[in-house]
A and B are shown apart, each in its own frame.
Chain A
Amino acid sequence: KQEVTQIPAALSVPEGENLVLNCSFTDSAIYNLQWFRQDPGKGLTSLLLIQSSQREQTSGRLNASLDKSSGRSTLYIAASQPGDSATYLCAVRLQGAQKLVFGQGTRLTINP
């Protein structure tokens, strides 16, 4: 059974810092991995999608990497801003299964 783990569960950093969020998964038979952002009580906003054949994807200040063999992904946020405060979720799309398996998320707080 695929399990997705995100560490840490919560992170608080001062504005301007670069930071890394971690995601690990137990089964490397994935189609892709997607990072989402969720604001309190709100929906999920897709940030980055990495296909299983790719190593990384970039969008603005965000960079996501994927190491399928070790079952790890990282989301790098450069020059953090208070508006980046949210919960970040990673999810893997399994081969042979029509669903996403989500991690529990990392709750990020950027302090002005």
Chain B
Amino acid sequence: EAQVTQNPRYLITVTGKKLTVTCSQNMNHEYMSWYRQDPGLGLRQIYYSMNVEVTDKGDVPEGYKVSRKEKRNFPLILESPSPNQTSLYFCASSLSSRTGAFYGYTFGSGTRLTVV
């Protein structure tokens, strides 16, 4: 089944303790991205990657890191989490638009992160 898989689904952590949220897709998509969803603010892009070793900042990158060493994986790293990073996080992937066609996005099931 074509899908984007995120782990863990739920995570409670303490301020300052480094964590990684994993994201993997099995559709051979070049493009991957991370979003966070907050009440009243909607979904906002954190980082995106156009392909292996190519990443760039989205609208709210502060406090986050990403890496793209393999095409299928795009982990989100919080080096020193703070309570304002408590949110629902989504990973998404899409075929690249370089061919001239613009494809839709497939989203993962989400990771609910609580930082205390």
Contact = CB atoms under 8 A, between A and B. Distances in A.
Interface in B7-36: 31, 33
Contacts of B45: 99-100
Interface residues of A, number: 23
Contact of B105 (A41, A42, A51, A100): A100
Interface in A41-67: 41-46, 49, 51-52
Interface in B25-67: 31, 33, 40, 42-43, 45, 48, 50, 56, 58-59
A102 B43 contact: yes
Interface residues of B, number: 25
Interface stretch (A18-26, A31-39, A69-77, A78-86): A31-39
A49 B31 contact: no
B73 interface: no
23 contacts: A31-B97, A32-B102, A32-B104, A36-B107, A42-B110, A43-B108, A43-B109, A44-B90, A44-B92, A49-B103, A49-B104, A51-B102, A52-B102, A93-B105, A98-B33, A98-B56, A99-B33, A99-B58, A99-B59, A100-B43, A104-B40, A104-B42, A105-B42
